[in-house]
Amino acid sequence: MGWLITLSILAIIAIIIGGMWLGWRRRRKGQADLSPAPELPQDLGEPNFAVDDAHYVATSVTGNALNRIAVRPLAYRGRAVVEVHPSGIAIGIQSERPFFIPREQMTLVARTQATIDRAVEPDGLIAIQWNIDPTHSVETFIRIVNPKQRAELLEAAINITPNEHATREEHK
């Protein structure tokens, strides 16, 4: 009788894991038309600001924080290095290829408190809204624990945003 219960529990766990795997695979296929995140430019130069103790939280479809981008290097959260350059923002997530958000594609930089599976203190996240391609707008969320560095990153990112009205105090 005990082995029957054990097998039943293992079968339920296998079904749950299989469902999660199929859901993630379906999400990746559904985002196949999404352009890949830009690679770092060759002539990037020295950053205006850099922080090497950041947390890349997620990139999601603009206005739909539950619709996480499942395409690498944007798919998985992790520790990251974030650099603000005159031409854009470079993000290097641990174990992923670095990607670049060109300043011309940035539409909003804001402070926020929550995104998919992450809620922090008020204004604890930085949201960067950008156009990954002409038809897809996404939001990238960065967490920096140190409030001073978080404020410096926010200011540096706002300073390179092309539209002066494209920043706001809090992202909803």
More confident of the two residues 106 and 136: 106
CATH architecture of the domain covering 49-170:
Roll (2.30)
More confident of the two residues 117 and 40: 40
Task: Look at residue 108 and tell me whether its pLDDT is greater than 70.
Answer: yes
Q: How confident is the model at residue 119 (pLDDT cuts 50, 70, 90)?
A: low
Amino acid 168: pLDDT:
52
Say whether 166 sits in a helix, a strand or coil: coil
Q: Which two tokens stand for residue 19?
A: 């469902």
Task: Look at residue 167 and tell me whether its pLDDT is greater than 60.
Answer: no
Is-above-0.85 flag for pTM?
Answer: no
How many other C-beta atoms can be found within 10 angstroms of the C-beta atom of residue 142?
22
Amino acid 161: pLDDT:
83
Q: Where are the domains of the chain?
A: 49-170
Contact 43, 54 (CB under 8 A): no
Listed residue (9, 83, 85) closest to 51, CA to CA: 83
- Region of poorest pLDDT, from 11-20, 51-60, 74-83, 118-127: 118-127
The stretch 118-128 carries a mean pLDDT of: 76
What is the C-alpha end-to-end distance of the chain, expressed in Å?
Answer: 53
Q: What is the pLDDT of residues 47-104, one digit of tens each?
A: 888 888 898 988 888 887 777 787 888 888 889 999 999 889 999 888 888 889 998 8
Contact 105, 131 (CB under 8 A): yes
Amino acid 82: pLDDT:
92
- d(Cα 63, Cα 84) in Å, to the nearest integer? 24
